[in-house]
Every structure is written in C-alpha cells, then in structure tokens.
Structure 1
Amino acid sequence: MIRRLLYGTVYATAGVLHFLHESSFRKIMPPQLPFKKEIVYVTGVMEIFFGLYMLLKKPGKWFKTLLKLFLVAVFPANVYMALKKIDLRGKQLPTPLLWARLPLQWFLIKETDKL
C-alpha cells in the first residue's frame, strides 16, 4: 500500500509537470520524433492516469503490463538526455546523475510487479 501511494504520487506529479513544463520535456526527446508537443501531452496524461489509478486501486496484470510498456517507450528520451547532457529548465544536472537515471528506469519496471 505504501509503495502504491509513493509511486502513485510520483507518477501523477510527473504527469502534471508535463503540462507545466512542456518545453523541458520536448527538449529531451530525440530529434527524429515528430509531434513532440503532442507526445509530451499524451505521456503526461498517461502518467497522471497511472498515478491516480495506483492511488485508487490495486493494479492488476493489465495495468502492470501497460506501465512497463510505457516505461520502455519513454526510455529513449532518458538516453538522449544523458548523451546530449540536456539541462532541465536552465539547470544542468551532473552527468553521473543523468546516466544514473537509465538503470533507475529498469528498477521502476521491476518495481511494477510489486504494486
């Protein structure tokens, strides 16, 4: 239950941030992707959905599968951000922190099974 509350809050907050700081999220997307603004909004809605769902219900298999697929789908943005050392809202994160986010994504995928 505590894990669901924690992750639910984190995902919902991250989703809201997609709308508040849309341009920052657009910057971390690989240049080959079209419709960056739309993708940021769609992924924001998805994260809000994931977060609220975790806060309200114990996720089932379909939810966990969808969340894992989502985490895999957004992984290239994290790689691109680390490779290009992209700043967030004018703040340059330390390079080791940018690279540390990559294994964190796989940790989150494994954590999904524990929700």
Structure 2
Amino acid sequence: MGFFSRVFGAFMAFAGIMHFKKPKMFMRIVPPFFPFKKMLVIVSGIAEILIGIFLVINRGTELASKMLTWLLIAVWPANVYMAIQNKPLKRGLKPMPLLLWGRVLLQWPMIQWSRKMGDPK
C-alpha cells in the first residue's frame, strides 16, 4: 500500500471526525426519505475514522477495503441527492453543480479502487 492510500486514509479519518464536530452539516445532505439521520451520520463517521486509521497505519487493509467499498455504496444516495438538489455540503456556500455531479460520477471509480486496494496480490 502506498503513499496515496495513507493520504486518503488521513482524509477519511478527518472527514469522520467532522461528522462529530459538525453533524448538522452532514445531516442536511441525507436524503429526506432516510429516517434516523443523526444515527446515519454517526455510524458513517465511525466507519470513516476506522477506515482512515486502518489505511494510515497500513493494517487491516483487507477489512478497510471492504468497509470503504460498502461505505461508498451507502453514501452514494446522499451524493446523488446533493447533486439533484444542487445542495452544497455547508449551508451558505454557493452550489457548484459541476463539482456535485463530478462527485457522483467519481463514486464508481472510487468503489473499484477500494475493491482493488484489499486484493492480497
């Protein structure tokens, strides 16, 4: 596992911590048809912190790979919702449709990368 995985791990851990520091920011992008928004934000934050730690310390990579794959699949509806609603992550910021839709489109390559990351060969 290389430098990129460790940097990505640090980013994931930071993002996970932000779920606890600013939960309302993340709750506002959970699609309205999902119940228990705060619980979803907390669970995804915990998952991001664990994935980040595994990647940074280069341990449990196979588990981190599986967790990241499922997490990316699980948060995809929030990314689609943000793009359709033209909703920035933080209230008051100017929406950037190109970035929002780019994030949706990047989800598939990120899922593929996360699956390869845990491949033991």
TM-score norm. by structure 1 comes to 0.90
The residue identity in structure 2 corresponding to 1:96 is L
The residue identity in structure 2 corresponding to 1:68 is T
Greater shift, 59-68 or 22-31, is seen at 59-68
What are the residue-to-residue correspondences of 1:88-103 with 2, within 5 Å?
Answer: 88-103=90-105
CA contact (8 A) 1:85 1:92 kept: no
Greater shift, 8-17 or 50-59, is seen at 50-59
TM-score norm. by structure 2 comes to 0.86
Report percent identity of matched pairs: 36
Greater shift, 23-32 or 87-96, is seen at 87-96
Deviation at 1:105, TM superposition (A): 1.5
Unaligned runs of 5+ in 2: none
Unaligned runs of 5+ in 1: none
Deviation at 1:91, TM superposition (A): 0.5
How many matched pairs?
A: 115
In structure 1, the partner of 2:106 is: 104
CA RMSD, Structure 1 to Structure 2 (Å): 1.5
CA distance in 2, matches of 1:93, 1:69: 27
CA distance in 2, matches of 1:81, 1:89: 12
CA distance in 2, matches of 1:54, 1:104: 20
CA distance in 1, matches of 2:35, 2:21: 21
In structure 2, the partner of 1:81 is: 82
In structure 1, the partner of 2:8 is: 7
The residue identity in structure 1 corresponding to 2:41 is V
In structure 1, the partner of 2:44 is: 43
CA contact (8 A) 2:16 2:45 kept: yes
The residue identity in structure 1 corresponding to 2:93 is K
CA distance in 1, matches of 2:112, 2:4: 13
